[in-house]
Structure 1
């Protein structure tokens, strides 16, 4: 190869590399149509939603940010970046969708179920598979802490869902097929178990698989029971103190997955399995179980939802 050919090859390689870089960091075009929010009292929200479609919706129901990947969990961070959990990685994007941080699934496991950015800057995440584990990873993607989980099943997809770190330093982990929300300490010891196969909830035959374990300010937990089609508030010792299901909510529960308690105490639920056009994919209940807000969209499904604002006012987003 002549020097001229070598020079041209280097030039073309540089141009091709630049092309790839620009395409990796180019913002994804908004392709999703506008949705519809309904509320008899005029409630409007902006929110991040994960699932087959990953996007941010404004209070006018317009899609303002979109990633063309199916996702599981997500947060809009205080700096405006967006942390998304995919099945094989957890990735942080800036507002222009440039990747600023990413963790890749370990080779021994099959999928990642959840992630949470912690106040100290570390990221909590959970891997399911042959070695189910909860991790804390720092900004340099170094594993700072590892907690071995006890899901009671080898079915990786059904081992765990929306794990979160508690203020006391422990971790709350919903284990679906164990019918239990377990609290682990940093040494991997289970220090508390909230069972969801109670007879008053229909027992195991109702498949009350826990998806969330949201610690409320009163010390109770808000738990979405996915195949059981209900949301319950339970005390730390496992007593049911509030329950909403299809008998109280007009048939809106269909595989409820993620959720959030808003600053006013209302509860937003992602009805992930909802396929009926006249039923909302995401809806909001007040403490009296009255439906006060709904979101409809033909493509967006609520695997997890992060409500950002209500009628122009920022939500704290703490209880999710």
Structure 2
């Protein structure tokens, strides 16, 4: 199947989706995963990309930065940018096993993580030159389970979730480990619950929201590293937390969560849902398909673009 046929098939797949969207709240969003697309508030795909992705950002000028999964075309993964006129530019070719995340910074740079024998975080300028680099202090045996959504913070330091280390590491600009947030379930000293950190979001007054994948929990740490808020399936109408990977904190303080495994057992399980701090569900997205959403970015709420920094 050629690329044109693949794209047509993907559009047909998305057009058959029947999303359930709350009556009072609507969102449009970029979805990354086995399928990559932008869904409008009416549940229609307005843009698609014919490749699997791990992370993605829609920029203010309409360009889209995508972290591509490893493939025959990009053996170690890659980062690309698609302009509004659909011109695609290769920003970074992975040099190891995987590229797991790529975050555009306020300065116009990109913060990228690579998994492999020498896991590392790099920051590149718009010309693709490395301006900062340091090794990640995660385990090296299992490349795929080294790290996920690393983000640069406003103070120039970095957060990087390390899955099999059961912790979110806080790095200085020189790679020094400044702190760790332990995502182990309290009392689970043998890590029988795989509460692997996937997304770590610094928000509010030094809080850090962490999505923990196979543990099916989302926790919020205060500035002292104490867990002050936890969301589990006991708080929801059903088992909606099914491998919660991606997350985003909205300007109003609400939290949107992606359940990557939703749909495998129950196609009608929400792929995305929004909860308040009081754990009330105000929006959900259901498409009836078995393909999940790895990460995402909400773009609009009730037709208006989200303002402020993208906290995801």
Q: TM-score, normalised by structure 2?
A: 0.89
2:210/2:218 contact within 8 Å kept: yes
1:282: how far off?
1.0
1:94: how far off?
1.4
SS at match of 1:288: coil
The answer to whether 1:104 aligns with 2:96 is no
The answer to whether 1:120 aligns with 2:119 is no
Matches within 5 A, 1:199-278: 199=186, 204-249=191-236, 250-274=238-262, 275=264, 276-278=266-268
Out of 24, 33, 42, the position equivalent to 1:60 is 42
Q: Which deviates the most, 147-156 or 169-178? A: 147-156
Partner of 2:139: 152
1:299 and 1:99, CA in 2 relative to 1: closer, same or farther beyond 3 A? farther
1:28: how far off?
4.7
1:286 and 1:34, CA in 2 relative to 1: closer, same or farther beyond 3 A? farther
| Distance in 1 of aligned mates of 2:42 and 2:306 | 17
| Distance in 1 of aligned mates of 2:143 and 2:241 | 25
Task: Show structure 1 runs of 4+ deviating over 6 A.
Answer: none
| Distance in 2 of aligned mates of 1:259 and 1:35 | 22
1:302 and 1:245, CA in 2 relative to 1: closer, same or farther beyond 3 A? same
Out of 184, 189, 192, the position equivalent to 2:179 is 192
SS at match of 2:132: strand
1:200 and 1:310, CA in 2 relative to 1: closer, same or farther beyond 3 A? farther
1:89/1:112 contact within 8 Å kept: yes
1:198: how far off?
4.1
1:200: how far off?
5.8
Query: What's the CA shift string for 1:129-151, capped at 9, x where partnerless?
Result: 01100011111111111011011
Q: Gaps spanning 5+ residues in structure 1: where?
A: 1-22
1:159: how far off?
0.3
Partner of 1:48: 30
Query: What's the CA shift string for 1:105-148, capped at 9, x where partnerless?
Result: 01xx1001100011111111000001100011111111111011
The answer to whether 1:90 aligns with 2:79 is yes
Partner of 1:134: 121
The answer to whether 1:71 aligns with 2:53 is yes
Count how many residue pairs are aligned between Structure 1 and Structure 2. 296
Q: TM-score, normalised by structure 1?
A: 0.87
1:111 and 1:315, CA in 2 relative to 1: closer, same or farther beyond 3 A? same
CA RMSD of superposed structures (Å): 2.1
1:256 and 1:105, CA in 2 relative to 1: closer, same or farther beyond 3 A? same
1:237: how far off?
3.1
Query: What's the CA shift string for 1:7-31, capped at 9, x where partnerless?
Result: xxxxxxxxxxxxxxxx999x95433
Out of 173, 177, 181, the position equivalent to 2:160 is 173
